[in-house]
Amino acid sequence: MGSFGVVIPPESATIIAFIVVGYFILITAFGTYFARFSSNINDFFYSGQRFSWWIPAASMVATGIGSYSYLKYSQQGYETGMSSTLTYLNDWFIVPFFMFGWLPIVYYSRVKSIPEYFERRFNKTARYIAVTIILTYMFYYIGYNLFTIGVAVEGMFGLNPLYTVPVIAFILGAYVTFGGQTAVIFTDLFQGIMLYIAGGTAIFLGIYALGGFGDWWGYLPVSHRLPFVHLTEDPKFNTSGLFWGEALAGSIAFTFMNQGFLMRYLTIKSMNDARKANIFNLLVTLPLSAIIVGAVGWIAKSLIVKQEVLGGPLAGYNFVEIEDTFHTFIIVAWETLKQNSILFGFIIAALTAALMSTIDTLINACAAIGIYDIYKPLIKPDADDKHYLMAARWASGISTVIGLLLVIWFAKQKGSLMSIHYKGIMVIIPAIVTTIFLGAFWKRFNAKAACISMIAGSAITLLTVGFPDWITPLSDFVLGPSNGKYIYFRALFGMVATGLIGVIVTLFTEPADEAHTRGLTADTLDDAMITYKGGGLPNHKLGEKVKGLQVSIDESLTGLQVSVTELVRKAMQAEEGDIVYLSDDRWWLGGLRSEHLRLGPCHEGSDTEVKVSSNTFKAAHLLEGKTALVEKII
Amino acid sequence: MYKKKLNPKFWGGCAGVLAICYFYPRILVSLLGEENPWTSYFYMYGFGLVTFIIGMFVILKSGALNPRRGNERMWMHLLLGGFVFFSTFHGIWIILALNIPYLGEGIQ
């Protein structure tokens, strides 16, 4: 049974199906549990900006690995070797722009969505052009992820995707709709662990089957050991294309305009912690993910070579043959697990985990745009928080349904999964990515230029689908491939075209005024910090976290105020009016029970006592009898 | 055209970057050849370095990164260290790939 390239007996298929369904139920229950932490609209989308860096950072593992990643990268690893890691390891070049440019702009200006930034930085027209492009990008991704898992399920169990995909979408929609961002983050955290365990199991058993690490490396051809592919040889996978199209355009798109990823950073308690999450993601998460999704392909290549050297199968294993490389992961995992249904079921559950964890983030992000960019400004501007929370849940449901409907369109497309993917993404992203970049780093860039460059840039990029020869001069200029198949260079072309239009229009029109740049560009970040703090200069003195404090109630404290003793204030290097962070001091909660507060007048009680009002105590989800920590934020 | 023109240094910088984009890969290929794995390495890290330096320049000049503010000097060192780490890591990787004997002689 099945067409994954392996023959799975019906009884094994039943066991695998049970494990996958059981996993789905477990995840749904886990996610909906966290609905209790979404008491208002800010909680629903941004978890109240309360988390320590490591929770969103760890949950990004699962978000960054899609359902297709295992299949796609194992295939790439088998065909071209360890260069499959390149797309995960080439992001450092743009880090300065992100970590000290775009991220603090978004964080301190407290924008809820990228289109909102467009309205504040440019105008309403720019906002709605951005909404259109970003939602197209998000829906495309949701539909594509659902479609790929439908194809995988069909291959394995012979079930029609038109029946299985709606069921999967319903389960996903359930916990995102009711749980919100907190549910998404915690389920992704759990699923990230699952992904690593499952991928690690497949890798460990594969290397074990080969006879150890030395044999794996020894039987891997030199071309497959290298971290880079040929500069231009393969039109679909070459170093020059990967640099310009993936390291620049793709990485900027993924980090700058992926609302789902940005929302993860916006859940973090401070800018310093957001930077830590970014560093962790680049230095730990991405390299590990590159190994997890690609290593089975490298093992497959080594295994095939060793079989050829031995003149037969490895001792104790079946002869492994890979006819359709798209199924590399499944074939090698099935055989090196010695056709163990339970372990294989666990691996397949991890594949579905990859799907769920990518889509839940996208659904939540689409809902955020739906509420903050469409419903609130255009339909119901003055409703209460409860109403928006309900609307947000509806928006999550609607986003899921739209993604589901797109599956019908994807099912009619021809070509490989990879080509369907890039056909859309490389056309959608260039114009908006460039506009974000110019808006954030060039103060003079104005609304007229933003609108014209987004529309004209998108149109020109779209036209290159029909006229790919337009890209040739640009590709030749940087010594890229000249073969008419410009998967990655289309994005670079779109960025260059959009950038040129933006620069020319800006130079012929009046510069953006101060109201549209203050706190919204890299050179006005000090203003953004002042606005974030709510007045007063930011306090950058380095202080300590003060732990082990007993929380007591003082109803004389107004709003979200906190009071500590003079000694604690000095240890934090804080001043009255600064924003401080009060949290349950059990580190492993990662800030789930916490709140940002304003430092009020010092009290004269015990140095181990921190005072807040009962409303603040409740808003922070603190528990009686548990100690807390305080830390100055800004 | 609007009165205020862009700084000539900016246009000079743009011309410099364009010149690098055109000449650097050609020099690289003429020195090492297209087949050499180091060509891809230097292509990626050469252009990557240009991108990274522009990024550092932009954030330092705009004041977005201020080494005298809070712990931002540490972050600056981390950014530079990260670049060195990845370039060294990939370099060592290529050396290991080329110098450890392949056991499947004749099989590709």
Measure in Å the smallest separation between the Cα of A280 and chain B Cα atoms.
Answer: 11
A72 by Cβ neighbours in 10 Å (0-12 / 13-18 / 19+) ranks as: buried
In a domain, A320, yes or no: yes
- What pLDDT does A264 receive? 80
Q: Which residues of A touch B67 (CB under 8 A)?
A: none
Q: Please indicate, yes or no, if residue A43 is contained in any of the structural domains.
A: no
Question: What ipTM does this complex have?
Answer: 0.92
Which positions in chain B touch A222 (Cβ < 8 Å)? 97-98, 102
pLDDT digits (tens, 9 = 90+) for A125-176: 999 999 899 888 888 888 888 887 777 677 666 677 778 888 877 776 766 6
A563 and A485 in a common domain: no
* pLDDT for res A196: 83
Residue B22's identity, in one-letter code, is Y
Structural domain includes residue A68: yes
Distances from the Cα of A448 to the Cα of A115, A495, A502, angstroms = 16, 18, 9
Considering only CB atoms, B39 lies closest to which of A220, A231, A309, namely A231
Asked, for residue A468, whether it belongs to a domain, the answer is yes
Same domain for A485 and A570, yes or no, is: no
* Contact state of A511 with B75 under an 8 Å Cβ cutoff: no
Which residues from chain B sit within 8 angstroms of residue A508, using beta carbons? 1-2
One domain for residues A459 and A569: no
Assess whether A420 and A563 both reside in one domain. Answer: no
Q: Answer yes or no: is A274 within a domain.
A: yes
| Chain B residues touching A227 at Cβ < 8 A | 41, 90, 93-94, 97
What is the CATH number for A132?
1.20.1730.10
From the number of C-beta atoms within 10 Å of its C-beta (0-12, 13-18, 19+), residue A253 rates as buried
Contact A247 B104 (CB under 8 A): no
Same structural domain, A398 and A487: yes
Of B43, B64, B94, nearest to A227 by CB-CB distance is B94
Same domain membership, residue A396 and residue A322: yes
Query: Do the Cβ atoms of A99 and B79 come within 8 Å?
Result: yes
Distance from CA of B48 to the nearest CA of A (A): 5
Kindly report the nearest CA distance between residue B102 and chain A, in angstroms: 5
Taking alpha carbons only, the member of A568, A571, A518 closest to residue A542 is A571
Residue A339 maps to a domain: yes
CA A372 to chain B, closest CA, distance in angstroms equals 27
Q: Of A308, A301, A306, A246, which is closest to residue A74 (Cα–Cα)?
A: A301
The total number of structural domains in chain A stands at 2
Digit-by-digit pLDDT tens for chain B (108 residues) are 455 556 788 888 889 999 999 999 999 999 999 889 999 999 999 999 999 999 999 999 999 999 998 889 999 999 999 999 999 999 999 999 999 988 877 776
pLDDT tens-digit series, residues A503-536: 999 999 988 888 889 999 999 998 999 988 887 7
Residues in chain B with CB shorter than 8 Å from the CB of A217 are: 100
Whether A588 and A467 map to the same domain: the answer is no
Residue B4: which region, alpha, beta or left (left: phi > 0; alpha: psi -120 to 50)?
beta
A97 → closest Cβ in B55, B94, B100: B55
* Exposed / middle / buried, residue A300 (Cβ in 10 Å: 0-12, 13-18, 19+): buried
Domain boundary among A468, A483, A498: A498
Query: Mapping DSSP to helix (H, G, I), strand (E, B) and coil, where does residue A232 land?
Result: coil
Amino acid (one-letter) located at A126 = A
A557 and A493 in a single domain? The answer is: no
How far B12 CA lies from chain A's nearest CA (Å)?
A: 16
SS3 A571: helix
Averaged over successive runs of 10 residues, the pLDDT of chain A (634 residues) comes to 60 80 76 64 62 82 70 85 90 94 91 87 93 88 80 68 80 64 71 82 91 93 93 84 84 80 84 93 90 91 93 88 80 85 82 72 79 84 78 80 84 68 81 93 94 95 90 90 77 93 92 88 91 85 89 84 90 90 88 87 88 87 88 90
Residue ranges of domains in chain B: 18-91
H or E segment and range at residue A629:
strand A628-632
Task: Tell me if A227 is assigned to some domain.
Answer: yes
CB contact under 8 A, A94 and B55: yes
B95 — phi, psi (to 5°)? -60, -45
Residue A620: φ, ψ to 5°? -85, 0
Q: What's the pTM? A: 0.86
pLDDT in tens, A415-443: 666 667 777 888 888 999 999 999 999 99
Residues of A in contact with B52 (CB under 8 A): 92-93, 95-96
- What is the DSSP code (8-state) at residue A212? S
Contacts of B43 in chain A (CB under 8 A): 231, 239-240, 243
Q: A251-310: per-residue pLDDT in tens?
A: 888 788 877 778 788 889 899 999 999 999 999 888 988 998 889 999 999 999 999 999
CB pairs under 8 A between A and B: 164
Query: Is residue A296 within 8 Å of residue A333, measured between CB atoms?
Result: yes
Nearest CB to B59 within list A89, A306, A522:
A522
| Domain contains A508 | no
Kindly report the CATH number assigned to the domain that includes residue A599.
2.40.40.20
Q: Domain range holding A571?
A: 541-632
